[in-house]
Amino acid sequence: MPDSPAGPPTPPIPLSELLARQELGLRRIAGPDHADLLWVHTSEMADPYPYLLGGELLLTAGVQLADADTYVARLVQAGASALGFGVAPVYDTVPAALVEACERHGLPLVEVPPETRFTAIARAVWRLMAEARHRELHRVTRAQQALATAAARPAPVPAVLRQLAVQLDGRVALLAADGGVLHAAGGRPAPDVRTALARLARVVAPADPPGTPAAPSRGPSPASATDTRGGTHLFAYALGGGQGLALTLATSRRDSGDHTVAGIAVVLLSLLTAPHQGADAAGRSAALVRLLLGAAPSDVAPLLGDGDPWTVVHARRADGTPADPLTAGALGAALGSALSEADRDTVRILLPGRHGAVAPQPGWTLGVSGPAPVTALRDADAQASRALGHAEATRTPLTTHRPGAGGLAELIPADRAEAHARTLLAPLTGTLAETLRCWLSLHGSWDRTAVALSVHRNTVRQRIGRCAALLGTDLDDMDVRTELWFALRARTP
């Protein structure tokens, strides 16, 4: 799946827009009249090739210009977009040899008058880039709103595809694993374009997943693929969740924000097509209906795969920004589930069935519960919350709940351990007991506990002091801490 749609890259600046700034007095005197600028670079080196990234407007006064043809050939080889030559102080006019070389090698040559400083040109380019990025962000925002509105309509999948075709001015289609077109919008492409799109779809969403007998040696499939046919740009994106569906696009242009717009559509379509993920979707829907009508979790467990473990994931953005439903859906799709929700700053995701280890996700901090049956999802939710707090306190991208196994704790029968824990911890409220458990798990760190519980460190000190007073114990004593730790682990909420 594409990267999380945080925003489009900055579009390139047409050279013509820079030349149109009359206050600069720039004039193209050789080479083609069109070029896209990605940035500006100034250099008086005889050969700036090693320091160019491609796409630059290179500005020079020709201090070390010797062989004009070799100089221009090296710039073209490095991928420079255009050359700006400053008249004065070295040359009174642009050298004729340089004009001829730029014409011969197809590099736009711009004359910079003596009164125009290179810094003024750079400032103008950055301003144009900022304006272009603002326009592109505005376009992407409008497209996101339009796609989200389409997703809320009675037939959401065709509506999203139609809106995507409008936003990208092209042909879009949703393909099944066997190559069949489930839905399409935006006209009918040429036969060779349809064939190429079907091939791209098989690349990103093969009919036989990696590891099956039909594909024993194939590695992981890419999330997206591109190609061209004449002047048509082709794209294919795999929908999240592993359901074998692919979104294909054919457009006559390729703007910088198109990938972001397509990524938003992929997230929406991944959520909307979630029922394709398995044959048990009807059972899950029936279980949800029964729960809403008042059934107990134990009564609906058989519909959800009685005995199959579930995993709960809690997540927050690493940069502290709030999570919205679209962001939550993107994270859920990346983890392979459409069951997600955004609650203020926290995203909660439910992973059904048997999942392997949850992988860290760039830009997120995750807390993962242990596997739990459907009847114990509330406990798993608490585990995921604690794991997320621990991950944030220890500044790790992911923490998984690890239940105690073996050791001294198993020498005491569970019922006796729980009875002792209830008696020992009876003076503590639920909030105090949770604070004490978190504080002990983080080795008595006030700051880390405060981060994990999202409270002030003075609040942690007050609560721990209250625990010590109510229990009548010295919490600096390691024997006391050890006994309380065993009791807190044996305690049933």
* Domain end marker among 346, 376, 400: 400
Q: Is residue 469 part of a domain?
A: yes
Q: Is residue 125 part of a domain?
A: no
Give, for all 493 residues of the chain, the pLDDT tens digit.
344 444 456 678 899 999 999 999 999 999 998 899 988 999 999 999 999 988 999 999 999 998 999 999 999 999 999 999 999 889 999 999 999 999 999 999 999 999 999 999 999 999 998 888 888 888 888 888 888 888 877 668 888 899 999 998 889 988 877 777 888 888 888 888 888 888 888 888 776 554 444 444 445 567 788 888 888 888 888 887 556 788 999 988 877 778 888 888 888 888 777 644 444 555 666 666 666 677 776 676 666 655 567 888 999 888 877 776 656 776 777 777 777 888 777 888 888 765 567 888 878 899 898 888 877 888 888 888 888 888 887 888 888 887 654 455 555 566 676 777 788 788 888 888 888 888 888 888 888 888 888 889 899 899 989 888 888 888 888 888 878 877 877 665 5
Give CA–CA dist 401/394, Å, rounded.
Answer: 14
* Domain end marker among 345, 366, 400: 400
Q: Is residue 159 part of a domain?
A: yes
Same domain, 272 and 385: no
Q: Is residue 388 part of a domain?
A: yes
Same domain, 268 and 145: yes
Beta bridge partners of 171: 250
Question: Which CATH number does the domain housing residue 451 bear?
Answer: 1.10.10.2840
Q: What is the structure's pLDDT at 202? A: 84
Task: Give the domain extent around 109.
Answer: 27-115
For residue 300, what are the contacts with CB-CB under 8 A and spacing of at least 6? 286, 287, 290, 291, 374
Q: What is the DSSP string of 323-346?
A: P-HHHHHHHHHHHT-S-EEEETTE
Same domain, 57 and 165: no
Query: In Å, what is the CA distance from 366 to each residue of 37, 193, 318, 352, 376?
Result: 40, 42, 9, 17, 20
pTM over 0.75: no
Same domain, 256 and 181: yes
H, E, C per residue of 308-320: CCEEEEEEEECCC
Q: Is residue 1 part of a domain?
A: no
Strand, helix or coil for residue 460: helix
HSE on the CB side for 159, CA within 13 Å? 13
* Domain end marker among 400, 419, 439: 400
Question: Which CATH number does the domain housing residue 87 bear?
Answer: 3.40.1390.20
pLDDT tens figures, 161-202:
999 999 988 899 888 777 778 888 888 888 888 888 888 888
How many contiguous H segments (helices) and E segments (strands) does the chain have? 16, 17
Q: Is residue 5 part of a domain?
A: no
Q: What is the DSSP string of 63-110?
A: TT---HHHHHHHHHHHT--EEEEE-SSS-SS--HHHHHHHHHHT--EE
Same domain, 143 and 214: yes
Same domain, 35 and 99: yes
Report phi then psi at 451, rounded to 5: -65, -45
Q: Which residue has the tokens 């062989």?
A: 67
Question: Quick one: which of 70, 91, 84 has its CA closest to 28?
Answer: 84
Q: Is residue 185 part of a domain?
A: yes
Peptide bond into 89 cis (omega under 30): yes
Q: Is residue 380 part of a domain?
A: yes
Same domain, 106 and 210: no
pLDDT tens figures, 362-417:
788 998 988 888 778 888 888 888 888 888 878 888 888 876 544 555 555 666 76
Same domain, 375 and 413: no
Give CA–CA dist 77/50, Å, rounded.
Answer: 11
Structure tokens at 421: 């824990």
DSSP secondary structure code for residue 363 in this structure: T
Same domain, 110 and 212: no
Question: Which CATH number does the domain housing residue 147 bear?
Answer: 3.30.450.30
Same domain, 84 and 186: no
* Total domains present in the chain: 5
Same domain, 219 and 105: no
Same domain, 87 and 105: yes
